[in-house]
Amino acid sequence: MSAQVQPLKASWSIEQATQAAFEPVPFKVYTQRDLDRIVQLGRLSPEQRFEMKVVSSVLPFRVNQYVIDELIDWSDIPADPIFQLTFPQRGMLAPEHFERIASLLRSGADKAELDQAIAEVRHELNPHPADQMEMNMPRDESGERLDGIQHKYRETVLFFPSQGQTCHSYCTFCFRWAQFVGDKELRISASEAKTLHDYLRRNTEVTDLLFTGGDPMVMKTRHLRDYLEPLLKPEFDHIQTIRIGSKALTFWPHRFLGTEDADDLICLLTQLVEAGKHVALMAHYNHWKELDTDAAQAAIQRIRSTGAVIRAQGPLLAHINDDPAVWAKMWKLQVKLGIVPYYMFAERDTGARAYFEVPLARAWEIYREAMQQVSGLARTARGPSMSASPGKVEIQGVAEVAGEKVFVLRFIQGRNPDWVQRPFFAKYDEEATWLHHLKPAFGEEKWFWEDEYEAIRCDKLSAAGLAA
């Protein structure tokens, strides 16, 4: 339940008020082994609970007490959006995959046989979409891959600190689900701060660093400081923006309030801002309910008091937020709380995508209808956007051009910066859910960027020692 709020004195600062209102709360987490210990699941039938066991054998499951107590309406399961966001559902696996694992569990198959089947199913779920393992991970001077770093776009580097490769709870749609299943071959991470700092010294075209995961906010502040504090040295003046991708404002806002090193975290963010860095917490939100607790709003207030900016992004998801009213309400609440709406994504082609994906035509309609309900301050959210291998492709609309109904597309980001902001057109397709489902309009055989992209891809794969 919500923390007990104490009366606040008029003379208190925001910081003092926050500390007074939220005492430390113990973090209690449940994984697949603990499904039977979650009392609220007793509302479900034995068959539904078995289905959860099957799905969570393949896709990662983790939830904490805050989510269970504060975010889920247990009178509305399984329809409740946060329940869908965190608890496995049968439709998250293809029928043939579900039946294969279910049969083995029912028959009491030995661990080796079950593990083999699970591994094979996982590899059929496109665990690392958009060529990220082959094309995004740079190499050192000797040609060795730099694990834990991705450098897809010229100005931006992604870093995966090993201490941050889990989350306070897992999203059922997560496109980085492969980080959490215990398979070292599928995991992206680095434990050496030196690896990151050496790479940034050599690549002075990089202006933006994104810490991602998993969730870097599961890290102790002292580890986060080891990575970030050295970036204040003059040799890293080219790093203008430090972004931290996190779901903690939803899944564990007490990380910023009452944990033992929350104050140190707030001090670190303040230190980075006062040193001249633009600090952005890239908050992942999927529904307005995530913003609607006392703890969540207090955490937002505390982060903003450091001078850091909170930007909100998330995918459009069937069963959770495929309704323009949900997005409009969420964007309005974000603006009210001082958060900048940033992206609406199309669900990535990985993991449980078939359960969550929305046709691109409907995605654009939802985006457009939601935008019509908000003021200009909420219209900063770009989308619907597909983070595909060539780049981030935005659906700008549906139009009729020269008698042909088309999608109007553009690159928000591209492997070649020259592609950015150039419009191009795809044949209208009511069923398409991803870029590779679309075909060029007006009788064109290829996209304008296709030959150059294939050349870039061949170079990358050759460098990686892989066949194109």
97, 123, 149 - which closes a domain? 123
What was the pLDDT predicted at 141? 75
Measured between alpha carbons, how far is 446 from 23 in angstroms, rounded to an integer? 59
What was the pLDDT predicted at 21? 60
Same domain, 158 and 119: no
Mean pLDDT of 100-114: 97
45-71 pLDDT, tens digit each: 999 999 999 999 999 999 999 999 999
Of 91-105, 131-145, 204-218, where does mean pLDDT reach its minimum?
131-145
For the chain, the straight-line distance linking the first and the last C-alpha, in angstroms and rounded, comes to 54
Give the residue carrying structure tokens 């969550």.
356
| 466, burial (CB in 10 Å: exposed 0-12, middle 13-18, buried 19+) | exposed
Same domain, 119 and 131: no
123-168 pLDDT, tens digit each: 999 887 766 666 788 887 777 788 889 999 999 999 999 899 899 9
Same domain, 99 and 225: no
* pLDDT at residue 97 greater than cutoff 60: yes
What was the pLDDT predicted at 140? 78
Is the omega angle on the peptide bond into residue 148 within 30 degrees of 0, that is, cis?
Answer: no
SS3 for 173? coil
Domain count, the chain: 3
Mean pLDDT of 201-227: 95
Residue type for 239, please? I
Is 138:151 a contact under the CB 8 Å cutoff? yes
Is 61:31 a contact under the CB 8 Å cutoff? yes
Q: Is residue 13 part of a domain?
A: no
Same domain, 105 and 43: yes
Same domain, 143 and 252: yes
357-406 pLDDT, tens digit each: 999 999 999 999 999 999 999 999 999 999 999 999 999 999 999 999 99
Burial 97-129 (b: 16+ CB within 10 A, else e): bbebbbebeeeeeeeeebeebbeebbeebebbb
Structure tokens at 387: 């983070």
Write down the H helix ranges in 71-182: 81-86, 95-107, 111-123, 132-135
Same domain, 119 and 149: no
In the chain, % of residues over pLDDT 90: 81
Mean pLDDT of 101-105: 98
- Per the rule left: phi > 0, alpha: psi between -120 and 50, beta: everything else, 148 is left
Mean pLDDT of 236-244: 98
Per the structure, the complete domain to which residue 119 belongs is given by 24-123
Same domain, 116 and 32: yes
123, 158, 173 - which closes a domain? 123
What mean pLDDT, rounded, does the chain reach?
A: 91
* pLDDT at residue 216 greater than cutoff 90: yes
Same domain, 256 and 233: yes
Q: pLDDT grade, residue 11 (50/70/90)?
A: very low
Beta bridge partners of 283: 246, 312
- Alpha carbon dihedral 42, 43, 46, 50, in 10-degree steps, equals -80
Measured between alpha carbons, how far is 80 from 44 in angstroms, rounded to an integer? 13
Q: pLDDT grade, residue 466 (50/70/90)?
A: low
What is the spatial order of strands in the sheet that 241-246 belongs to? Answer: 149-153, 156-159, 208-211, 241-246, 278-284, 309-316, 340-346, 382-387, 391-401, 404-414, 423-427
Same domain, 118 and 132: no
What was the pLDDT predicted at 17? 47
Q: Is residue 431 part of a domain?
A: yes
106, 123, 140 - which closes a domain? 123
